[in-house]
Amino acid sequence: MKSLFLLWLFLFSAFIPAIAQPDTTITKPTGAPVILQRDTLFVLYAPVGSFTKEERAEAIGRRIQALAEDRFFQPDSINVLENALSVDVYYADRVLMSVTEADAAIADKSRKELAEIYAANIRRSVKTFSEQYSLREILTEIGLAILVLVVFFLLIRYVNKFFRYIFLKVEEQQNKWIKGFKVKNYEVLTPEREVGLVLTVMKFVRLVVIFMLVYFLLPVLFSIFPWTQGYADTLLLYILNPLRKIGLGLLSYIPNMLTILVIVVVTHYAVKLFRFLADEVESGKLEISGFYADWARPTYNIVRFLLYAFMFVVVFPYLPGSDSDIFRGVSVFLGILFSLGSSSAIANMVAGMVLTYMRSFRIGDRIKINDITGDVIEKTLLVTRIRTTKNEDITIPNAMILTNHTTNYTNCCNEQNKGLILNTTVTIGYDVPWAQVHQALINAALATPMILQEPKPFVLQTSLDDFYVSYQLNAYTRSAGSMATIYSNIHQNIQDKFNEAGIEILSPHYRAQRDGNMVTIPAGYLPSDYQAPAFRINQVQQPAHAAN
């Protein structure tokens, strides 16, 4: 217990003096500088009588300025005289300033010591000022300025000669090293245009070099003469301050830059991974249950877009100026413009993605949308382009395709299906046996190129009308892209086969009176002894007793 008490007493005795000791630090007041041509000689901290420290400093500065402009100035004439109330610094018979007890107390020196320091500063500054503004010094400075101008003129001259040499060498390299620029088979830049582009860049570089030489010449010239040295500092600061800010900004931005770099690299390799998987699925090397190979490429594009969008969202806070009001205002403005002007575009984009996964059609398929029939030649996120049988290119927005029914003829022609059924209807009179009509139609179909022999064509009797029977021929094909040609050939063969069978095609409505007119079958299909039929009139003679 005794040892603990002694330890507590020691700590208490150590802290008590620090707590009880008052703060004797004296805050030094702000001073008023005495200046001679931008050179601060000393600083005053105390007023004198009714004069503030600023008024004292201004009055002393004017006296020293007048002393510096005296061509007969003698530095040894500045002396210190001690009085009862102050110590004066004077030149000849003129008092330049007085050092009071308050000035000495603030400087922690005696009045005479402080006055001697002020007098020495005045002697040095006025002497330096006088030497700078002497005739000899001015002539020296003018000569030095002329020398600088001569050097600058030579620099400009040799810079121009150097760039003229570069221009000549660039022109000589046309069709040698400079052969133009191509992207695959497209010539982006001809050799002549590439030479012109290089020359334009070099001329701009020459202008920049000359501007920089002029800009650095002016500070050098201004620094030669004492009365223009301030302008030299200002011009240099115009370059040094932005460079310093850029350098400090880059140094402070390095952590954010590294973060952005990591995010971009991770996103890049993630995109490459998804691209590899998409290529594997598209080529059939990788099979995913329920996922079709033709989904691989559009799915990769969607995932890539989402990854880059997510990357931008993550990177955005690390961009310089992203937290500024201007940056936010521009972002909001662009967002409003996009939302107002892209409603239909977004609807088409969504419809394009839905159509991709619906697998309604692919490029090259023969499809029908409403009354438009043709081959799909392009399928984008916004529109689908179809080339009709008349070689017309029709652009259809994806949103319109999604809201209408689509007929795909090509899907029926793959190996998994029997083929696309083409059908056409003819009407034949009741006087012709239906079996004969069926056989003639089947023969016509089998004689048509691109019609499959198996499955065999078949005929349906679709209606029994007032004057004729409707027969529908159905035939299989795997050439959906040649539907128009196949239909034309089928119709030609139907005419030939019916004429060979002696069947008249009374379609859709055909009426004839057999009063000596020929039948509708061409003469080449008729027998050589064929006679045009005429009306038959049978006379019936009644018995004589009946007449009575």
Task: Indicate if the alpha-carbon torsion angle 12, 18, 21, 23 is positive or negative.
Answer: negative
Determine the pLDDT at residue 535. 63
pLDDT band at 9 (very low <50, low <70, confident <90, very high): very low
Condensed to tens digits (0 to 9), the pLDDT of residues 372-423 reads 888 999 888 888 999 988 888 999 888 888 888 888 888 777 767 788 899 9
Tell me what pLDDT residue 331 has.
Answer: 72
Q: What are phi and psi of 132, to 5 degrees?
A: -65, -30
Asked if 99 and 72 touch (Cβ cutoff 8 Å), the reply is: no
- Judged against a pLDDT cut of 60, whether residue 512 lies above it is answered with no
DSSP state of 409: S
Handedness of CA 368, 372, 374, 379 (dihedral sign): negative
pLDDT at 525 over 80: no
Residue 21 scores a pLDDT above 50: no
Contact, 402 vs 355, CB < 8 A? yes
Q: Which fold has domain 361-408?
A: SH3 type barrels. (2.30.30)
DSSP 483-548: HHHHHHHHHHHHHHHHHHHT-----S------SSPPPSS-GGGS-TT-----------PPPHHHH-
Where do the CATH 2.30.30.60 domains begin and end in the chain?
361-408
Mean pLDDT calculated for residue range 277-293: 84
Whether 252 has a pLDDT exceeding 50, the answer reads yes
How far is 53 from 46, CA to CA, in rounded Å? Answer: 6
Q: Is the pLDDT of residue 58 over 80?
A: yes
CATH 3.30.70.100 residue spans of the chain? 420-525
Flag whether pLDDT at 171 surpasses 60.
Answer: yes
CA distance 48 to 137: 39
- Over residues 278-303, the mean pLDDT reads 84
Distance CA 37, CA 231 (A): 13
Identity of the residue numbered 433: P
Percent of the chain predicted with pLDDT > 70: 81
Measured on CA atoms in the order 18, 22, 26, 27, is the torsion positive or negative? Answer: positive
The tokens 């029908």 sit on which residue?
368
Q: Which pLDDT belongs to residue 439? A: 94
Does position 240 have pLDDT exceeding 80, yes or no? Answer: no
Residue of higher predicted confidence among 147 and 222: 147
Is the pLDDT score of 18 beyond 60?
Answer: no
Which range of 33-37, 324-328, 342-346 scores highest in mean pLDDT? It is: 33-37
> Which pLDDT belongs to residue 402?
85
Query: Which has the minimum average pLDDT: 52-56, 251-255, 326-330?
Result: 326-330
What's the pLDDT band for 232 if we cut at 50, 70, 90?
Answer: low
Q: Is the pLDDT of residue 260 over 80?
A: yes
Amino acid identity, position 457? P
Report the b/e string of 214-248 with b at 16+ CB within 10 A: eeebebbbbbbbbeebeebeebbeeeeeeeeeeee
Query: Which run of H or E residues covers position 281?
Result: helix 229-283
**pLDDT tens-digit readout, 128-159:** 776 666 666 667 778 888 888 898 889 889 99
Residue type, 165: Y
Give the model's confidence band at 471: pLDDT under 50 very low, under 70 low, under 90 confident, else very high.
very high
pTM for this entry:
0.46
Q: Give one DSSP letter per residue of 296-342, joined into a string.
A: HHHHHHHHHHHHHHHHHHHHGGGSTTTTSHHHHHHHHHHHHHHHHH-
Beta-ladder partners of 475:
422
Element holding 237 (H helix, E strand): helix 229-283
User: What integer pLDDT is reported at residue 265 of this predicted model?
Assistant: 93
Q: Stretch 103-115: mean pLDDT, rounded?
A: 84
How confident is the model over 524-545, as a mean pLDDT? 69
Q: How far is 289 from 162, CA to CA, in rounded Å?
A: 69
- Give 545's pLDDT tier (boundaries 50, 70, 90): low
Q: Which ranges constitute the DSSP H helices of 84-134?
A: 101-107, 111-132
> Tokens 């061409």 — which residue?
522
pLDDT at 445: 94
* pLDDT at position 492 over 90: yes
CATH of domain 420-525: 3.30.70.100
Backbone φ, ψ for residue 533 (5° rounding): -70, 150
Residue bearing the bigger pLDDT, 509 or 59: 59
Q: Which amino acid is at 109?
A: K
pLDDT of res. 16: 41
For 40, which DSSP code? E
How high is the pLDDT of residue 137?
65
Q: What is the mean pLDDT of the chain?
A: 80
How do strand 181-183 and strand 406-408 relate by DSSP bridges? unpaired
Q: Does the pLDDT of residue 186 top 80, yes or no?
A: no
- Whether 520 shows a pLDDT value over 50: the answer reads yes
The share of the chain scoring above pLDDT 90, in percent, equals 16
Q: Do the Cβ atoms of 457 and 442 come closer than 8 Å?
A: yes
